[in-house]
Amino acid sequence: MSRIRTFKELLLLMLLGGMVGFTTSSVADEDLQVVTSIKPLHSIVSAVMSGVGEPELIIPGFQSPHTHTLRPSNMRTLQNANVVFLIDESCEASMGNATRSLDEDIKVIQLMKADDIELVRWADDSHQESHDDNDEEPEVESHRDLSMFDHHIWLDPLNAIVMAREVARVLSEQFEEHAEVFSNNADNFITKVEDLIERLTENYDAATVSLKPFIVYHDGYQSFEHRFGLDGLTRSFLKGEYTPGAKHLRDLQKQIKDLKIECVFTEPQFDDDFVDSLEDRANLKIRILDPLGATLDAGPDMYIELLENLSTSIIDCLTEDDDS
Ligand SMILES: [Zn+2]
C-alpha cells in the first residue's frame, strides 16, 4: 500500500477510481499552497494572504539565502506548492535551482523580474561576471541582464510595494475567489509601506547623519542606499559570500584610514572573526544590520520592522556626536 501524500495524488486516485461529480472549481483555504523563500518576502506575501491563508517559509532568517541548501522536507514543500515566490535564482541559489525541476503546473515567480522593480547596480564589480569594460550604458529595460544588479531588492521599500502588487496579481489569477481580499490586503500593506517611507525619509532628513562611508558585511545594500540618499557609501567586507583574502583585508584597512570610517556593520547570521581581525578595532563602532530579519518573528508586520531596524542602526551609527 502506498501512502497518499498529496492532494493531487488523492484527486488522481479518485478520478481513476471512476468517481464523478468532483469539482475543483472552489478552492478551499487549505488548498492554497503558497511557498516563499526568505523572511522579508514571506512577510509581504503573508500580508497579501492575510485572512485567507499563510505562506510557507523555506529559508529561516539565520541562514544566508545565497548558501542555504534545501532539505528533503523543503523539496516536498516545493513539490506540493501551487505558487512559489522567490527574489531571483541568483539570490536564493539552491531554491532557484530546485524550482527548475518542479512540475509545470506549479507557478514559480521571481519577483526581481517583475515590471517596475527598481534595480541598482552592485557596488562591487566582482558580481558582474560577464561585464565588458566599455562605457556604453547597457540597455537595461529591454535586456535586463539581472546579474549586474544587486538582488537584495526588498531593501528598497518602493520595491516592496511593487512586490505586494505583483503577489496580489499572481495569487488572484490562481485563486480568483479570493481576488478581492488579496487586492484589499495589498492596498493596506502598501499604505503601511508608504507611511514607512515617509517616516524613514524624515528620520534621515532630521538626523545629522555624516555622509561618510561605512563598512557592511556584504555587498547587498545598494537598493537601500539608493532609496535613502546614501549612494556610494557602503564598502563591503566580503567579496560575494567568501571570507576575504589578505589583499582585500589590507585594502579595507587602508580605506578605513583614508576615509576615516567609523562604522562597521556585521550581520547576525555571520560570525565576528573578521571584526576581530581589523586593526584599530577599538576606534570603530561595531553594529549589526539585519537585512533578512534573522532576529524578528516571521509574519505580515515583520517587513516594516525590518526596514525600521535597518534604518535606525545606520542612523544611530552615522549620526555625529553632539561634541563635534
Ligand atoms: Zn546577500
From the CA of 192, how far away is ligand 1's center (Å)?
A: 25
pLDDT at 144: 62
From the CA of 127, how far away is ligand 1's center (Å)?
A: 11
Q: Which domains does the chain have, with CATH numbers?
A: 31-121+147-196 (3.40.50.1980), 202-318 (3.40.50.1980)
From the CA of 316, how far away is ligand 1's center (Å)?
A: 23
Cα–Cα distance measured from residue 267 to residue 319, given in angstroms and rounded to the nearest whole number: 20
From the CA of 270, how far away is ligand 1's center (Å)?
A: 11
Cα–Cα distance measured from residue 267 to residue 309, given in angstroms and rounded to the nearest whole number: 13
From the CA of 306, how far away is ligand 1's center (Å)?
A: 15
From the CA of 240, how far away is ligand 1's center (Å)?
A: 8
From the CA of 91, how far away is ligand 1's center (Å)?
A: 7
Using DSSP, state whether 285 is helix, strand or coil. Answer: strand
Q: Phi first, then psi: what are they for 192, rounded to 5°?
A: -65, -40
- DSSP of 92-125: SHHHHHHHTTS-TTSEEEEGGGSTT----B-SSG
pLDDT at 211: 79
Q: Which residues of the chain have pLDDT under 50?
A: 1-4, 11, 13-28, 128-143, 322-324
From the CA of 209, how far away is ligand 1's center (Å)?
A: 25
- List all residues 6 or more positions away from 70 whose beta carbon is below 8 Å from its beta carbon: 58, 78, 94, 95, 98
pLDDT at 8: 56
From the CA of 51, how far away is ligand 1's center (Å)?
A: 31
Cα–Cα distance measured from residue 78 to residue 253, given in angstroms and rounded to the nearest whole number: 44
Grid cell digits, residue 312 = 535606525
From the CA of 64, how far away is ligand 1's center (Å)?
A: 7
Residue with cell 532576529: 295
From the CA of 273, how far away is ligand 1's center (Å)?
A: 18
pLDDT at 278: 80
Helix (H) or strand (E) holding 83: strand 83-86
From the CA of 269, how far away is ligand 1's center (Å)?
A: 11
